[in-house]
Each structure stands twice: as C-alpha cells, then as structure tokens.
Structure 1
Amino acid sequence: MSELLKKAQIYQEERADRVPNTQRPSFHVSSPIGWINDPNGWSVYQGEYHLFFQYHPYNTHWGPMHWGHMKTSDFIKWERMPVAMAPDMEYDKNGCFSGSAIEINGEHILMYTGVYEEEVNDKKEVYQVQCIAVGDGKEYRKIEHNPVITAKMLPEGCSFHDFRDPKIWMKDGIYYALIASKDKDNDGQVVIFKSKDLKKWDYVNSLDQSEQRYGAMWECPDLFELDGQDVLIASPQFMEAEGLEFHNGNGTMCIIGKVDTSNKLIRDKVHAIDYGLDYYAPQTLEATDGRRIMIGWMQSWDNYITPEEFEWSGIMSIPRVLNVKNNRLYQYPVIEIEAYRNNKFIKDMSIIAGESYIQLIKGREIDLILKINKAECSCFEIKLACGNGRFTTISYEPMKEIITFDRTYSGLRKDVQCIRKMKIDPFHEDMEIRILMDKYTIEMFVDGGKYAMSSLIYTDLDIDNIDFSTDGQVDLVIEKYDICV
C-alpha cells in the first residue's frame, strides 16, 4: 500500500466519525469527510452492491481525486469502506478519475481514468489514460500493465486532454469499454474499445457523437439493454438550453435506440434524465434480481451550496429502478425504501383557496405521495421545510403543464440558481407526484417516474413543516410516511 493511500485511509477513519449523524442524510450516501462527486464502480461483487466515488477527503471542495468506497445489501443502509485508490502512480499522479467495475472470476475489476501532467515544449500538457485495478471488495492493487488504453489508440486528431470515464462490461467472453472522448472537430463522442484479457485493448469505433448540439463532452457514459431497447446515458458538459428539456451547463441525457451491426447507435429518442438543480453523472448496474438500478451525484458544478461549517460535501441520489416505456426512460426509487416506512398518514381531502394546511403533516425524512384527482386551479403549491419565513416550493400549473421547483427562500445566502421548471403531461385523474426527502435532498417523481426532478436544500433541520395552497380547488389523496433507518 502506498503512503498516499495509507494517509487517506487514516485521515478518513480519524475524521469521518466526528461528523454528527444528525447532520448527515439518513438513507442517502454522503461524503465520509471532505468532498465527493461522480459515482464510480457501481457494481455487484459477491452478492453485495459496491459504490465508489470521486473523493477528496482533505477539503470540502474538489481536489486531487481518490476513490472512496461504500457498500450495501439493500440500497438504503450503507457501510463505509477504506479508501480504495489514491493518485500514487506516475500515470495517475494528478488524479484517479471516474470509472466503473465488474466482477470476474471472484475478482473485483475496477477500470478508471488516470490523469497526469507533463512539460512539453515549455507547456504543461494534461493526459488522460485508462487503467485497471483488481481487488477483493476491500483492498485494490493497480496492475503492472497500466495504462492499458491511451489516446494514441484513438483515431488521429482526437483529444488526449478529454478522454475519460470508462464503463466496462463483458459480453461473449470479450471485455468492452465505453469511454468519453472528443473527436478531431472537438465534438463530444463516446468510443468503444475491446479486449480479451484486460491488458491489450483495440479501438472499435465511435458509438455516437454530440453533433455540435448536445454539449461539448459526454462525461460518464453508460450503455445497457433494457426492455428491448439500447440505452445510452451520459452527462454532457457545456450544454446550451433547449426549452425546458435541457438547461445550460452540465446536464444529463438519455438516448434510446438500437446499436446496429456496425456498433453505431441509431437514435429513436433523446431526453433529459433529471430536470432538477442537482443531478449529474448517473451510473447503472444490473442487480442480482435483474433490475437495472441507477445512482447519481446530487450536486451541481455551477451551484455549490454546501454550508461553510460542514466538514463534508456531496450526496448521492436514492438508487432508482429503470424501465423503458413508450421510448422514454422511467425511474423510480428502489422498493427497498418501503421497508423503512413508519407512521403512515393517509387522507382523502380537498385543498381550498385561502386555507392553510401547515398543521397537517411535517417531516424532513419522508416519503410523500400525492394522488391528484381534480385540479380546478391555475396553480397548486407544496411548501417543504416550511417555517420561520423559510420554505421551498414545488408549484404545479395544470393549465401550463409545468412543475416548478423553487428554493429561493430556503435560507440560502448565495447568489445561485434556485428555480428550475419541467414540462409534464396534461392533467389526468390519479396523477401522482411522489416526493422523497432526506434532510437536504428533495427528489420528485411524477407519474410513476416518467419525470424526475432532484435538488438540494440546506434549510435548518428544525424547520420541518409542510403546507399546501391553491388559487382554486385540488382534490387529492395524501399518503405520507416517515423514513426511519
């Protein structure tokens, strides 16, 4: 074990337990100490689910990337593991960037991007290369053949600066890796490599490209088959807004189609994965029961709102089960969360203009399901973490077919993005809005997960009222549970 890795492991164990559990989310992965971002190595190993992540334990801001590590048996309770990797080799001395993992013959294989800098003609050049580490679920060693893929293996003109985030899988005895890249025209693309032994890799082709429309770099790509379709998910950088579908900056994207015999993705549908303020870099695994389960990083690169007094920064989303229906990716919280439901509240009622419902329900660790039967109004509002002049509003406008999330009055003291909107289907009976809240996280799923919206708030935890209001009448069934883990 290198001194850098040993230092990180000791630092984590000395500091992580100092963070009070009352401050942490209860059923979401959060940083043990310091900073985390992209989920990595989301995989099954020996019957348990392992999650690695980009990790800088020494600061609550991004820094030299390590791989942190947690595992779970039910997607809700998580066990902290030793730091898995540190930037301790020449080929990754500037960071162990994002990657993935698979189990092969009892070994846990990690594939990641190593980053290093060199002086070339008096200019500092950054190189990104793909590397392999092998372990037993707790300890990992980097293989001597690293780096196994370099930008020299790409077609002429492709970027060696932007070449990262490998997603590895095996099919018919061959290993494949899908990697984010930029082509000779500086256009975002995802490329495929293959190998028989994890050591010698060959370039296959470019699976799909941005075409100068969907951002300039597709980070953290993932490709899988689901419900008879091929699905590519990615996180484009430097996007330009398109209506309410895609927002500026870093976002998420799902492409549904079919991969043809030449390994090209023929698109049927392109849409955003999550419409909230804080969701990025999702990655999927196939669970032992066959479910496709996705987890993402709940934070925005451009809207850092972690409170200054926190010694940790970074939360992952609730793991979500995926399905494809009518050429659209649906996502819904894993059913395992239901085992932790307590204090059931259910009420069939009408919300009437001019009345307050703030004494009806409360909570900051809740599963709230609203089944709306009638919406004779122009706006229906749900206020969460409400009290002392603070609140976060979810507004549903049935005539405009828009849901708006607004954290302007959540207690923020930074000039950051607070409002985001998403377009949904026309109103129909039994329309469902499900809100899963874990102290600071608000994840909303509309109509069984056809639309998802994930955002953070850092309102004081003792502010936990929930209120409803409308300018007309809304008939609905309110079903609410406390989540106790």
Structure 2
Amino acid sequence: MECLLQKTKITMLSNCLILLMVGQAFSIPKTEEVTWYPTYHLAPHKGWINDPNGLIYHNGYYHAFFQHNPENIPEGTKHWGHARSHDMLNWEYLPIALSPSLEDDIDGIFSGSAVNLNGKLTLIYTGVSDNLNKQRQMVAISSDGVNFEKKGVVITKEGDESYFRDPKAWFQNGSWWVVIGSQTTDKLGEVLLYSSKDFFNWTYQGVLAGGNGSLGYMWECPDFFTINGKQILVISPQGLEQDGFNYQNLYQTGYFVGNWQPEQNYTIEKGFREIDHGHDFYASQSFLAPDGRRIQISWLDMWESVFAENVTGWSGMFTIPREISLNEFGDLVSKPIREIIGKRTPNTDIFDTIISSNQMLTLKNNVFSSEILIEFNLLNSSCKAIQLSLKEEPTRDEGVVLYVDIELSRLFMERYYPKYGIDKTNRSVAIDLSLSKLSLDIFVDSSSIEVFVNDGIAVMSSRIYPNNNQRKFSVAPVDGFVNVSLTSYDINVNNQ
C-alpha cells in the first residue's frame, strides 16, 4: 500500500506534501517536555513506517516487517524494515530487509506477506516501477532470517498494473494461495485469487470478492484466514463515504464473514464491518502463533493525520498485537495478546468507589506507559453519562476524552491538540448497556490510546500528543452517580 496511490497520483502527492508541511510547520515549545516514543508498541527508532508486512513466527522468532522510509518522508520511496521478537513486545531491530534495487521494484517495495517455504523465510511483496504505474508481485528468500535474496517477479496482471498490490499468501490443501488487492476497469475495489504448487508459478483463479460503488474504488491490504470454520476476508478499502457514525476516517479497515474452499466461490454471510472505531487504524495483517492463536497487527495511524512526532526524527507505529476470534454471533473479537500480562508491574492501583453526581475523581496522575482496567457497575449507577479524561486538568480543553453516553448507548473518543494542528474531532462505537457492567481495558503508551470494550467486542485506537503535564487520568459522572472500580499497571518493555 502506498500514499501516492490512494487516489490519483497527482492528488495524493499534493496531500502527502501537505501532511509533511503540516508536520514540519510546528515546533515543540521549549517550555514543554514531551515523551512520545512508545514503550510497548513497535515503532521506528528513526524514519517512517506504515503498513505491517510479512508477519510470521519462524524458527523461534516472531518477525514483523514494515513499510519504511529511512529518511522519515511519508511519500518517500518505501523499503521493508525488519524487527523480530520472542514475545511480540520486546523487539530487536534488524537491518533493512528489502530495498529498491531491481528494474521491477526500483520505485518502491510495497506491502506483502511471509511464509515458510521449505524451511526458509520467504517474502512475497509488491515491487513498483514505471513511476508507480507497474505493480508486480515478487519473491525474496532468506536462509538466516535476516538477509534476503530477491528472486524476481512471480505474478503480473494483464492490462492496467497500477492498482495491483499487497499479496497475502498461505498454504492449504496441498497448494499455495495468495489474495491480492486490486481495482476493476470500472474503478471498484476487488480481491483477486491465485494458486501455485511451488510458490513461483502462479495460476489466476478469479475474483475472490468484489465491491460496488458503496465499498470504494480500491481494496488494499487483503487478509484471508479461517476462524471457527468461517473464512474471514479483511480489506482496507479506499473511497467509502461517511455513513452516520461509520467510516469517519479517510480510509477504513474492516472484514467480511463467509464460506470458502478451494475451487469454490467465496460466499459472504456478513457484510463489511469496521474492525476498530478510533481515529487511527489501517492495513491489518494477521498470522498464526505457534499455539494456534490468530494474531492481528495494524498501523496505528491514518493517512490524513498530522504526524506530530516527525519533528523528533520518527513517524508511525503499530497497534498492540491482538488475539482475534469470532463469537457466536459472527462478530470479530479483539483482545490484547496475553503476553502483555507478564509485562505488568507488580505495584497496582486498586479501588472500588461511588462517585457522586458531577464530582470529578483523579484515578491516576502520571499515565505514560500504562494499562488501566476500569469497570462501571451499571446496576448501581444513576448517571446519564460518564466522562474519562487524559489531560493536564480535567476541566481544560486540550487532551483526550472518553465519553460514555448512556442514552445513546455509545462510547465516544474525542481528541484535541491544537498546537500540533490536530482539531477537535471524535469517533464512537455502539456499546451494549443492557449488561450489568461496562468494562474498559485502556492502554496508554506515550502517544497512543487503545480502548478494548467489554472483553474486545469493540476497540477504539487513536494517536495522542500530550506533553508530560497532560497525563492526569480522571473520571466524572454526569447528572447522577457512578460505581467505578479500577486496577492499573505500568507496562515495562525493553526494545533494542
């Protein structure tokens, strides 16, 4: 996936330049101290990242590759950066895995995936050339998991090759399969399917799934996998129009639920739904952990965002790796990986109390690298709304607010950092308040917030840019009292 290809090349070049200019237009006031580099999220020490690529567990390591520009330029030529980990939280950064070098990838190394091919870590990726007009699928192989030898082009597309990218490969029923994001001649998004016996000679199997005018003009970063006997197709469509509370970001990432077997059509049972409802979530990719868990990681950013951190030499980060499952209603459930429990400090803040009407209570004074588990007893509460804030003082405007609207049965997230060009905007998700309790598992890591609602039935993820004095976490009921319990931890991780 690539910024310059999201609409027309000219339009997006203009947009990306605006992003860069906005990011460089401000400077951090000398009176402010900021700590924006994350503790337990994967982010570059230097340079730019966007989509996660090549996620795989191989020979004792979790590998994460990523779209990377070493010079920290969003629209710059993309490489594949590389990191590995034993637990998906402590990451060791390795040399750049793939750089433009061949005729077919000279303009960039776009997104792709990784497989174990005869014991070797093997990458399939989109090589870009001809001023971004040619996008072809290419392969590179490593014997040591660090250094890669390119094998050249393995899949091309007849006709227009400018919207043909992001291969996701897997092995099933004695064959290799790959899905690739594409666009029809009518400029509608679609996902194409190919198969191979050897990973180098591929046969076109047709369109796995295609959209209509309501599902955008391009489907990027497809992912296709099985959970509970159902086949899940994840896509990142471009061009969806906002629909009420839905599709409020520039681009979305969501999923279909259906049935598919080799040589059969994909039958969709549940239509497109967003995975995450925050400001920043895109280009998901998943893989299997050794114990069979399906792990999903996404880019915790969005293309229209102001990347305020770029003045400190880096831009972009990934979400917490998430264990995903399908519940009995066919809904995708996302939970933070269980490995994070081992990174909690033993010192915890714990309390259970009733907060009176319009009273404000500070739950935690310094939220930098934290997990906050908060539960509201709805049977023992009378308020019309609940407000949680991460600010210098709860009554001040700048910062982040989580707002539980009891009457609308929605959770809103609002952020506002005017000095960094981030206007006041909110995102929201429907929540089930017929239950006796509402639980929020909130992760704040320097410049991000991720909120898991009711054990992961909904998630909201956004980038935030507080200074070091804007990290007071408070709660207040609106027009009534609320029964709240809280447990909080600091998360300690050492990335190399």
* TM-score, with length taken from structure 1: 0.89
Q: CA deviation at 1:461?
A: 2.9
- C-alpha distance in structure 1 between counterparts of 2:282 and 2:92, whole Å: 23
Q: Greater CA deviation, 83-92 or 296-305? A: 296-305
Q: Greater CA deviation, 211-220 or 425-434? A: 425-434
Give yes or no for contact 2:308–2:420 (8 Å, CA) kept in 1.
no
Q: Which of 63, 70, 81 matches 1:50?
A: 63
Sequence identity, in percent? 33
- Kindly provide the amino acid, as one letter, of the partner of residue 334 in structure 2: Q
Gaps of 5+ in 1: 1-19, 119-124
Distance 1:21 1:71, change over 3 A: farther
What are the equivalent positions in structure 2 for 1:450-465 lying under 5 Å apart? 450-465=457-472
Match of 1:386 in 2: 392
What are the equivalent positions in structure 2 for 1:274-353 lying under 5 Å apart? 274-325=276-327, 326-342=329-345, 343-353=347-357
Q: CA deviation at 1:73?
A: 0.8
State the secondary structure of the residue aligned to 1:307. Answer: helix
- Kindly provide the amino acid, as one letter, of the partner of residue 208 in structure 2: L
Q: Which of 349, 355, 360 matches 1:356?
A: 360
Match of 2:477 in 1: 470
Residue by residue over 1:128-164, the C-alpha shift from the partner in whole angstroms, topping out at 9 and shown as x without a partner, is 0000000121100101xx2111112xxxx6x411000
Match of 1:129 in 2: 136
Q: CA deviation at 1:311?
A: 0.1
Q: Which of 53, 60, 73 matches 2:86?
A: 73
Q: CA deviation at 1:383?
A: 0.4
- C-alpha distance in structure 1 between counterparts of 2:222 and 2:438, whole Å: 32
- Kindly provide the amino acid, as one letter, of the partner of residue 486 in structure 2: I
What are the equivalent positions in structure 2 for 1:32-43 lying under 5 Å apart? 32-43=45-56
Match of 1:150 in 2: 156
How many residues align? The count is 452
- Kindly provide the amino acid, as one letter, of the partner of residue 49 in structure 1: Y
Match of 2:9 in 1: none
Q: Is 1:263 aligned to residue 264 of structure 2?
A: yes
State the secondary structure of the residue aligned to 1:478. Answer: strand
- Kindly provide the amino acid, as one letter, of the partner of residue 436 in structure 2: E
Match of 1:9 in 2: none
What are the equivalent positions in structure 2 for 1:442-453 lying under 5 Å apart? 442-453=449-460
Give yes or no for contact 2:191–2:209 (8 Å, CA) kept in 1.
yes
- Kindly provide the amino acid, as one letter, of the partner of residue 292 in structure 1: R
- Kindly provide the amino acid, as one letter, of the partner of residue 363 in structure 1: V
What are the equivalent positions in structure 2 for 1:217-256 lying under 5 Å apart? 217-256=218-257
Residue by residue over 1:160-208, the C-alpha shift from the partner in whole angstroms, topping out at 9 and shown as x without a partner, is 1100000011113311110001123221000111111222111001111
Match of 1:4 in 2: none
Residue by residue over 1:331-379, the C-alpha shift from the partner in whole angstroms, topping out at 9 and shown as x without a partner, is 0000110111112111111122232212655422111111111242221
Q: Which of 424, 427, 437 matches 2:431?
A: 424
Give yes or no for contact 2:104–2:128 (8 Å, CA) kept in 1.
yes
Give yes or no for contact 1:386–1:467 (8 Å, CA) kept in 2.
no
- C-alpha distance in structure 2 between counterparts of 1:456 and 1:347, whole Å: 28
State the secondary structure of the residue aligned to 1:90. Answer: coil
- Kindly provide the amino acid, as one letter, of the partner of residue 338 in structure 1: I
- C-alpha distance in structure 1 between counterparts of 2:56 and 2:291, whole Å: 13
What are the equivalent positions in structure 2 for 1:94-243 lying under 5 Å apart? 94-117=107-130, 126-135=133-142, 136-143=144-151, 146-152=152-158, 159-243=160-244
Q: CA deviation at 1:431?
A: 1.8
Q: CA deviation at 1:281?
A: 0.3
- C-alpha distance in structure 1 between counterparts of 2:102 and 2:259, whole Å: 39
- Structure 1 segments, 4+ long, off by >6 Å, are none
Match of 1:407 in 2: 415
- Kindly provide the amino acid, as one letter, of the partner of residue 356 in structure 1: M
Q: Greater CA deviation, 206-215 or 416-425? A: 416-425
Match of 1:366 in 2: 370
Once superposed, what is the RMSD of the aligned Cα atoms?
Answer: 1.9
Match of 1:13 in 2: none
Distance 1:416 1:142, change over 3 A: farther
- C-alpha distance in structure 1 between counterparts of 2:250 and 2:48, whole Å: 21
Gaps of 5+ in 2: 1-32
Q: Greater CA deviation, 305-314 or 128-137? A: 305-314
Q: Greater CA deviation, 40-49 or 209-218? A: 209-218
- Kindly provide the amino acid, as one letter, of the partner of residue 57 in structure 1: P
Distance 1:186 1:110, change over 3 A: same
- C-alpha distance in structure 2 between counterparts of 1:229 and 1:206, whole Å: 19
- C-alpha distance in structure 1 between counterparts of 2:289 and 2:72, whole Å: 33
Q: CA deviation at 1:308?
A: 4.8
Give yes or no for contact 1:276–1:454 (8 Å, CA) kept in 2.
yes
Q: CA deviation at 1:265?
A: 2.0
* TM-score, with length taken from structure 2: 0.87
- Kindly provide the amino acid, as one letter, of the partner of residue 98 in structure 1: S
